[in-house]
Amino acid sequence: MLFFNRLRIVVLCSFSILFTISCEESLPPITGEFSEQIRLNQIGYYPNSEKKAVVVSSQKADTFHIVDSVTMNVVLTGSLSPVQDWKLAGEQVRIADFSTVSAKGTYMVLVGELGYSYPFEIKKNVLKEVFHGSVKGLYYQRVGIPLEKEYAGKWHRAKAHADDSIPFHPSSGKTEGYIASPGGWYDAGDYNKYIVNATFPLGQFYLLQEQYPNAISDNDLNIPESGNGKSDYLDELKYEMDWALTMQDTDGGLFHKLTTKNFEGMVMPNKALSQRYIVGKGTTATLDFAACAAQAHRVFNKVDPVYANSCLVAAKKAYQWALKNPAVGFVNPDDVHTGQYGDTNFDDEWFWANAELFVSTNDTSYLNPLKEKAMNFEFKAGESWTGYMRFLGMFSFLNHKENIPADMYAAIEKGILKSADDLVVKANKFDYFQPIDDFHWGSNSDVLNAAMIMAQAYRLDPKSAYLKGVQQAMDYVLGTNAMGISYLTGFGDKTPMNIHHRQSAADGIEDPVPGLLSGGPNSRLQDVAGGTVYPENPSPMQSWVDQEPSYASNEICLNWNAPMTYVLGFLEQESD
Output the domain CATH number for residue 243: 1.50.10.10
Residue 192 lies in a domain: yes
The SS3 of residue 85 is strand
Q: Are residues 116 and 141 in the same domain?
A: no
Q: Quick check: is 242 in a domain?
A: yes
Structural domain includes residue 176:
yes
Q: How many domains does the chain have?
A: 2
Q: Are residues 118 and 139 in the same domain?
A: no
Contact status, residue 478 vs residue 102, Cβ threshold 8 Å? no
Q: Is the domain of 112 the same as that of 194?
A: no
All residues at 6 or more sequence positions from 206 whose CB lies less than 8 Å from its CB, including other chains: 237, 292, 295, 296, 298, 299
Amino acid 372: pLDDT: 86
Q: What is the pLDDT of residues 477-514, one digit of tens each?
A: 999 999 999 999 999 999 999 999 999 999 999 999 99
If asked whether residues 209 and 285 sit together in one domain, one would say yes
How far is 474 from 451, CA to CA, in rounded Å? 8
Is residue 104 exposed (0-12), middle (13-18) or buried (19+ Cβ within 10 Å)?
A: exposed
Considering the domain architecture, whether residues 157 and 89 belong to the same structural domain is answered as: no
Domain hosting 477: range is 128-490+554-574
> Which of 104, 122, 140 is the endpoint of a domain?
122
| pLDDT tens-digit map of 218-246 | 999 999 999 999 999 999 999 999 999 99
What is d(CA 31, CA 213) in angstroms, rounded to the nearest whole number?
44
Q: How far apart are CA 297 and CA 13, in angstroms?
A: 64
Q: Looking at residue 3, what is its pLDDT?
A: 28
Residue that is last in its domain, among 100, 122, 144: 122
CA 112 remoteness from chain centre: 35
Q: Which stretches of the chain drop beneath a pLDDT of 70?
A: 1-25
For the whole model, what pTM was predicted? Answer: 0.96
In this structure, the answer to whether residues 41 and 184 fall within a common structural domain is: no
Is residue 523 in some structural domain? no
Q: Tell me how far the alpha carbon of residue 494 is from its chain's centroid.
A: 18
Active-site residues, by number, are: 190, 500, 546, 555
Of 56, 90, 122, the residue at which a domain comes to its end is: 122
In this structure, the answer to whether residues 325 and 217 fall within a common structural domain is yes
The pLDDT assigned to 30 comes to 92
For 388-415, give the DSSP string. THHHHHHHHHHHTGGGS-HHHHHHHHHH
Q: Are residues 94 and 148 in the same domain?
A: no
Q: Which CATH number do you get for residue 76?
A: 2.60.40.10
Query: Does residue 309 belong to any structural domain of this protein?
Result: yes
Instruction: State whether 205 and 266 are in the same domain.
Output: yes
Give domain status of residue 549, yes or no: no
Q: Are residues 392 and 253 part of one domain? A: yes
Same domain, 263 and 406: yes
- Are residues 64 and 147 located together in one domain of the fold? no
